[in-house]
Amino acid sequence: MEELKEAAIKNDVEALARLLQKDKLILDRLTLNSHDMNPLHIAAMFGHVEFVQRVLLASPDLCLAGDRFRRIPLHLAIIKGKLDVVRELVHARPISAREKIDGGGNALHLCVKYNQLAALKLLIETIKDDDFVNRKDDDGMTILHLAICDKQTETIKYLLGNNQVVVHVNVKNSNGSTPLDLFQGDCDPEIGRILHQAGARRGRELLDSSVSASKSSGEKPAKKGNGDNDWLSRKRDAIMVVASLIATMAFQAGVSPTGGVWQDDSNPDGPAGTAVMALKHPKYYKNFVRTNTVAFVSSLSTILFLISGLPFRYKFFMWALMVVMWLTITAIASTYGISILMVTPVHQKKDLSQVIKTSVTVWCGVMSLLLLGNTIRLINRWIRKRYGVDMFRKLRRQGSCSAAPAQSNGHQGSSLPYVSVELNKV
């Protein structure tokens, strides 16, 4: 392996040939067993075309092998702008251009993040696939979204002026923002002109036009998009898990209360199976039963609602269920507090009571903030649908645009230093 790396660094094709003559399967074993940078990664990064061609003749599948960061040789060739190597790798395995990169997306996203327009043109003209060009990353960002955030005028011109593929100018990211939503007024005005000529519109305009068209045609408004469906699905799953966990905890606390139960009928205070706390501390026991029962019944009710098949397709219903779960969590936390007080020695109860009071105050504050925040979001959603006004529009736009550069910088910082470290080991 070290000899292969040395040969890749020096572009020593003859040394590669000698190693292959000794062991014809040496590259194939790298494909199966190595999770580190292989010789093809190194040759691709340095732009050694001859070495790349010789490796691909012997083992073309090596161009699909990823390093510990799941980067294949094509990714490094794009980052360094080695066009001849990019061409060879894509020709050997066209599917390598579709391999997922860190943060989602494909090789085109990498081209935009590192401002490699020539590599972007080469890939688009080679693959010629609309789905490939309009692929989204994990944040729902297409390459057009990223190009606008990075203010890459030439890239935007190429994408919107290319007749070989269709670039979707009104696709929305995870925040519901179209490319035009991400366009800043203080950016190059030419970008705005190009987008408008291509028919780009803002997300709110698309929603308003869709509703107007539905009303004029007498049809019902379209159902929520995939983003809302995904959000609802995630919330349902999360609430189901939490409700099941709390129901289990509440049941266990109910049948095995703090302090245990009397073990036989010889005790004059109560028969076997009677809770010790009920007889020794009746006030605590009543509060314990009340809070534990609230947690148990509300969690079971939530589970019943979620498995009943009722059409929880609207965020309002999921918001209501989350409020119920907050109350459930508060109840089970109160059960915990009572249990802790029961097992605490008398001389330490005063200090513990103060800690519990402080915790309850903080907890109520957090719950109030969460309730207020979600209520504001719900009101803003209603105002946006009814009047077309979004109170958080500017914040949403800034957040979406700042996400792409952050990802780019993070990727840059994690990839190239790693390459240097690996080469220093050779």
Task: Return the pLDDT at 233.
Answer: 67
- Sign for the CA dihedral angle at 179, 180, 182, 187 comes to positive
Query: Same domain, yes or no, for 230 and 145?
Result: no
pTM: 0.54
Give the per-residue pLDDT at 322: 78
Report the greatest alpha carbon distance in the chain. 96
Structure-block tokens of residue 312: 């929880």
Where does the pLDDT of residue 425 fall: very low under 50, low under 70, confident under 90, or very high at 90 and above? very low
One-letter amino acid identity for 286?
A: K
Q: Output the pLDDT for position 421.
A: 44
Q: How many domains does the chain have?
A: 2
Whether 74 has a pLDDT exceeding 90, the answer reads: yes
Q: Are 390 and 396 in contact (CB under 8 A)?
A: yes
User: Are residue 150 and residue 234 in the same domain, yes or no?
Assistant: no
Q: Tell me, yes or no, whether 149 and 233 share the same domain.
A: no
Residue 191 lies in a domain: no
Question: What percent of the chain is modeled with pLDDT above 90?
Answer: 21
Residue 215, domain member (yes or no): no
Mean model confidence pLDDT for the chain: 78
Task: Give percent of the chain with pLDDT exceeding 70.
Answer: 76
69: domain CATH number is 1.25.40.20
Over residues 136-174, the pLDDT tens digits come to 998 899 999 999 888 888 999 899 888 888 899 999 988
- Per residue in 41-61, pLDDT tens? 999 999 999 999 999 998 888
Q: Which of 90, 120, 154 is the last residue of a domain?
A: 154
Asked if 194 and 157 count as a contact pair (C-beta separation under 8 A), the reply is: yes
* 207 found inside a domain: no
How far is residue 259's CA from residue 288's CA, in Å, rounded to a whole number? Answer: 12
Rounded-to-integer distance, Cα 115 and Cα 104, Å: 17
Contact 180, 142 (CB under 8 A): no
Q: Put residue 81 in one of left, alpha, beta given phi > 0 → left and psi -120 to 50 → alpha.
A: left
Residues 124 and 234 in one domain: no
Q: Say if residues 87 and 97 touch (Cβ distance below 8 Å).
A: no
Give the per-residue pLDDT at 418.
45
> What's phi and psi for 369, nearest 5 deg?
-65, -45
- The range of the structural domain enclosing residue 344 comes to 226-403
- Inside any domain, residue 217: no
- Alpha-carbon gap, residue 284 to 158, rounded angstroms: 73
DSSP for 319-386 reads HHHHHHHHHHHHHHHHHHHHHHHHHS-GGGHHHHHHHHHHHHHHHHHHHHHHHHHHHHHHHHHHHHHH
Final residue before a domain boundary, out of 131, 154, 177: 154
User: Can you give the pLDDT at residue 408?
Assistant: 42
pLDDT for res 307: 79
Which residues in 158-292 belong to E strands, given as ranges? none
| Residue 27 in domain | yes
Model pLDDT, residue 414: 42
Q: Which of 283, 339, 258, 279 is nearest to 271 (CA)?
A: 279
Does residue 424 lie in a domain region? Answer: no
Q: How far apart (Å, rounded) are the C-alpha atoms in residues 253 and 332? A: 10
Please indicate, yes or no, whether residues 31 and 146 belong to a single structural domain of this protein: yes
Does the residue 416 lie in any domain?
no
413 and 405 Cβ atoms separated by less than 8 Å: no
Reduced to 3 states (helix: H, G, I; strand: E, B; else coil), residue 256 is coil
